[in-house]
Amino acid sequence: MSRVSVPCHVKGTVALQVGDVRTSQGRPGVLVIDVTFPSVAPFELQEIMFKNYYTAFLTIRVRQHTSTHTPAKWVTCLRDYCLMPDPHSEEGAQEYVSLFKHQMLCDMGKVLELRLILRQPSPLWLSFTVEELQIYKQGPKSPSMTFPKWLSHPVPCEQPAPLLEGLPDPSRVSSEVQQMWALTEMIRASHTSTRIGRFDVDGCYDLNLLSYT
Protein backbone atom coordinates (compact mmCIF):
# COMPACT_ATOMS: atom_id res chain seq x y z
CA MET A 1 0.00 0.00 0.00
CA SER A 2 1.43 3.37 -1.03
CA ARG A 3 1.76 6.33 1.31
CA VAL A 4 2.33 10.07 0.84
CA SER A 5 3.98 12.46 3.29
CA VAL A 6 1.61 15.14 4.62
CA PRO A 7 2.99 18.65 5.26
CA CYS A 8 2.14 19.67 8.80
CA HIS A 9 2.70 22.36 11.40
CA VAL A 10 3.84 21.12 14.82
CA LYS A 11 2.91 23.57 17.56
CA GLY A 12 4.98 24.12 20.66
CA THR A 13 4.76 21.73 23.59
CA VAL A 14 2.13 22.65 26.20
CA ALA A 15 2.37 21.39 29.78
CA LEU A 16 -0.84 20.11 31.33
CA GLN A 17 -1.82 20.56 34.92
CA VAL A 18 -3.05 17.32 36.45
CA GLY A 19 -4.67 18.03 39.80
CA ASP A 20 -2.29 20.09 41.88
CA VAL A 21 0.77 18.97 39.91
CA ARG A 22 1.77 21.11 36.97
CA THR A 23 4.28 19.71 34.49
CA SER A 24 7.51 21.67 34.27
CA GLN A 25 11.05 21.15 33.06
CA GLY A 26 12.07 19.82 36.46
CA ARG A 27 8.91 17.85 37.21
CA PRO A 28 7.72 15.12 34.85
CA GLY A 29 4.04 14.85 34.05
CA VAL A 30 1.95 15.34 30.91
CA LEU A 31 2.77 17.30 27.75
CA VAL A 32 0.58 18.02 24.73
CA ILE A 33 1.71 18.57 21.15
CA ASP A 34 -0.86 19.77 18.61
CA VAL A 35 -0.31 19.15 14.89
CA THR A 36 -2.27 21.00 12.20
CA PHE A 37 -2.46 20.57 8.43
CA PRO A 38 -3.18 24.04 7.04
CA SER A 39 -2.58 23.22 3.38
CA VAL A 40 -4.23 19.80 3.24
CA ALA A 41 -7.87 18.82 2.93
CA PRO A 42 -9.28 16.17 5.31
CA PHE A 43 -7.32 13.00 4.62
CA GLU A 44 -7.06 9.34 5.63
CA LEU A 45 -4.14 8.93 8.01
CA GLN A 46 -1.95 5.95 7.18
CA GLU A 47 1.08 6.18 9.49
CA ILE A 48 2.65 8.32 12.23
CA MET A 49 6.42 8.18 12.61
CA PHE A 50 8.60 9.89 15.20
CA LYS A 51 11.67 9.54 17.39
CA ASN A 52 10.90 9.09 21.05
CA TYR A 53 12.78 11.02 23.69
CA TYR A 54 12.07 9.55 27.14
CA THR A 55 8.29 9.55 26.73
CA ALA A 56 6.77 6.62 28.62
CA PHE A 57 3.17 6.63 27.37
CA LEU A 58 1.50 8.16 24.33
CA THR A 59 -2.15 8.96 23.70
CA ILE A 60 -3.29 10.17 20.27
CA ARG A 61 -6.46 12.11 19.51
CA VAL A 62 -7.66 13.27 16.11
CA ARG A 63 -10.20 15.91 15.09
CA GLN A 64 -12.26 14.55 12.22
CA HIS A 65 -14.55 16.18 9.72
CA THR A 66 -18.04 14.71 9.99
CA SER A 67 -20.37 16.72 7.75
CA THR A 68 -21.07 20.28 6.67
CA HIS A 69 -23.88 20.63 9.22
CA THR A 70 -22.09 19.31 12.32
CA PRO A 71 -18.84 20.56 13.86
CA ALA A 72 -15.71 18.42 13.71
CA LYS A 73 -15.22 16.24 16.78
CA TRP A 74 -12.20 14.98 18.72
CA VAL A 75 -11.79 11.20 18.98
CA THR A 76 -9.24 9.19 20.97
CA CYS A 77 -7.68 6.68 18.61
CA LEU A 78 -4.75 5.46 20.77
CA ARG A 79 -4.66 5.41 24.56
CA ASP A 80 -1.55 5.08 26.79
CA TYR A 81 0.60 3.34 24.19
CA CYS A 82 3.76 2.20 26.03
CA LEU A 83 7.01 3.56 24.58
CA MET A 84 9.26 2.67 27.52
CA PRO A 85 8.46 -0.81 28.90
CA ASP A 86 10.75 -0.46 31.95
CA PRO A 87 10.63 2.86 33.87
CA HIS A 88 13.97 2.06 35.52
CA SER A 89 15.90 1.58 32.28
CA GLU A 90 16.31 3.49 29.03
CA GLU A 91 14.79 0.77 26.85
CA GLY A 92 12.80 2.48 24.10
CA ALA A 93 13.76 5.93 25.36
CA GLN A 94 15.36 7.11 22.10
CA GLU A 95 13.99 4.79 19.43
CA TYR A 96 12.10 5.48 16.21
CA VAL A 97 8.44 4.50 16.39
CA SER A 98 5.92 3.85 13.60
CA LEU A 99 2.22 3.66 14.35
CA PHE A 100 -0.16 2.49 11.63
CA LYS A 101 -3.88 3.05 11.20
CA HIS A 102 -4.71 -0.61 11.92
CA GLN A 103 -3.32 -0.08 15.45
CA MET A 104 -5.80 2.72 16.14
CA LEU A 105 -9.06 2.37 18.02
CA CYS A 106 -11.10 4.34 15.49
CA ASP A 107 -11.37 5.05 11.80
CA MET A 108 -8.59 7.36 10.60
CA GLY A 109 -10.46 8.98 7.72
CA LYS A 110 -11.15 12.72 7.25
CA VAL A 111 -8.48 13.87 9.72
CA LEU A 112 -8.22 17.63 10.30
CA GLU A 113 -5.91 17.89 13.33
CA LEU A 114 -3.77 15.64 15.48
CA ARG A 115 -3.02 15.84 19.20
CA LEU A 116 -0.24 13.89 20.90
CA ILE A 117 -0.50 13.55 24.69
CA LEU A 118 2.83 12.50 26.20
CA ARG A 119 3.12 11.13 29.71
CA GLN A 120 6.18 10.37 31.82
CA PRO A 121 5.29 9.45 35.43
CA SER A 122 8.81 8.48 36.48
CA PRO A 123 10.90 11.15 38.29
CA LEU A 124 14.05 9.62 36.79
CA TRP A 125 13.50 11.35 33.45
CA LEU A 126 12.97 15.06 33.86
CA SER A 127 12.75 15.94 30.16
CA PHE A 128 10.68 14.11 27.53
CA THR A 129 9.14 14.77 24.11
CA VAL A 130 8.90 13.33 20.59
CA GLU A 131 11.08 14.47 17.70
CA GLU A 132 11.20 14.27 13.91
CA LEU A 133 7.45 13.84 13.65
CA GLN A 134 6.21 12.72 10.21
CA ILE A 135 2.65 12.10 9.09
CA TYR A 136 1.68 9.96 6.11
CA LYS A 137 -1.67 9.65 4.39
CA GLN A 138 -3.20 7.02 2.17
CA GLY A 139 -1.62 7.17 -1.28
CA PRO A 140 -3.34 6.48 -4.58
CA LYS A 141 -4.37 2.89 -4.97
CA SER A 142 -2.53 0.95 -7.64
CA PRO A 143 -4.76 -0.15 -10.53
CA SER A 144 -5.93 -3.72 -10.29
CA MET A 145 -4.22 -6.13 -12.60
CA THR A 146 -6.56 -7.76 -15.09
CA PHE A 147 -5.52 -10.82 -17.04
CA PRO A 148 -7.16 -12.04 -20.24
CA LYS A 149 -9.23 -15.17 -19.89
CA TRP A 150 -6.95 -17.18 -22.14
CA LEU A 151 -4.15 -16.94 -19.55
CA SER A 152 -6.12 -18.77 -16.88
CA HIS A 153 -8.39 -20.88 -19.09
CA PRO A 154 -6.54 -21.97 -22.23
CA VAL A 155 -8.51 -23.67 -24.93
CA PRO A 156 -7.75 -27.41 -25.39
CA CYS A 157 -5.51 -26.88 -28.42
CA GLU A 158 -3.41 -24.33 -26.42
CA GLN A 159 -2.97 -26.37 -23.26
CA PRO A 160 0.70 -27.19 -22.62
CA ALA A 161 1.96 -30.69 -23.14
CA PRO A 162 2.88 -32.72 -20.02
CA LEU A 163 6.30 -31.84 -18.70
CA LEU A 164 7.11 -35.45 -17.90
CA GLU A 165 6.25 -38.37 -20.14
CA GLY A 166 4.95 -41.62 -18.73
CA LEU A 167 2.83 -40.06 -15.97
CA PRO A 168 -0.64 -41.60 -15.47
CA ASP A 169 -3.67 -39.85 -16.86
CA PRO A 170 -5.25 -37.87 -13.96
CA SER A 171 -8.80 -38.67 -15.05
CA ARG A 172 -7.99 -42.41 -15.24
CA VAL A 173 -6.30 -42.37 -11.84
CA SER A 174 -9.32 -40.65 -10.33
CA SER A 175 -11.62 -43.26 -11.84
CA GLU A 176 -9.55 -46.13 -10.48
CA VAL A 177 -9.43 -44.57 -7.01
CA GLN A 178 -13.21 -44.27 -7.04
CA GLN A 179 -13.52 -47.93 -8.09
CA MET A 180 -11.22 -48.99 -5.25
CA TRP A 181 -13.26 -46.94 -2.76
CA ALA A 182 -16.51 -48.49 -4.05
CA LEU A 183 -15.05 -52.01 -3.77
CA THR A 184 -13.92 -51.33 -0.21
CA GLU A 185 -17.39 -50.15 0.75
CA MET A 186 -18.92 -53.23 -0.84
CA ILE A 187 -16.59 -55.50 1.15
CA ARG A 188 -17.51 -53.75 4.38
CA ALA A 189 -21.27 -53.91 3.71
CA SER A 190 -21.58 -57.43 2.27
CA HIS A 191 -20.90 -60.55 4.33
CA THR A 192 -20.70 -62.55 1.11
CA SER A 193 -18.01 -60.35 -0.37
CA THR A 194 -15.83 -60.68 2.69
CA ARG A 195 -15.40 -64.40 1.91
CA ILE A 196 -13.33 -63.39 -1.13
CA GLY A 197 -10.40 -62.82 1.18
CA ARG A 198 -9.27 -64.73 4.20
CA PHE A 199 -8.27 -63.78 7.69
CA ASP A 200 -4.73 -64.40 8.74
CA VAL A 201 -3.57 -64.89 12.31
CA ASP A 202 -3.85 -61.17 13.15
CA GLY A 203 -7.35 -60.86 11.72
CA CYS A 204 -6.35 -58.86 8.61
CA TYR A 205 -7.27 -59.48 4.97
CA ASP A 206 -4.81 -61.13 2.61
CA LEU A 207 -4.87 -58.40 -0.03
CA ASN A 208 -3.17 -60.65 -2.61
CA LEU A 209 -6.46 -62.50 -3.02
CA LEU A 210 -8.43 -59.34 -3.83
CA SER A 211 -8.49 -58.20 -7.44
CA TYR A 212 -10.71 -56.18 -9.71
CA THR A 213 -10.81 -55.09 -13.32
Q: Is residue 148 part of a domain?
A: no
What is the percent of the chain where pLDDT is above 70? 62
Which CATH number covers residue 106? 2.60.120.260
The pLDDT of residue 203: 47
Q: Is residue 36 part of a domain?
A: yes
* pLDDT, tens digit (0-9, with 9 covering 90-100), for 116-148: 999 988 877 778 999 999 999 977 766 655 555
Please give the model's pTM, rounded to 2 decimal places: 0.60
Q: Is residue 104 part of a domain?
A: yes
Q: What's the domain range around 109?
A: 3-17+27-138
What is the percent of the chain where pLDDT is above 90? 33
Q: Is residue 170 part of a domain?
A: no
Number of domains the chain contains = 1
Q: Are 120 and 29 in contact (CB under 8 A)?
A: yes
* pLDDT, tens digit (0-9, with 9 covering 90-100), for 158-196: 555 655 555 556 556 566 666 776 677 677 666 554 455
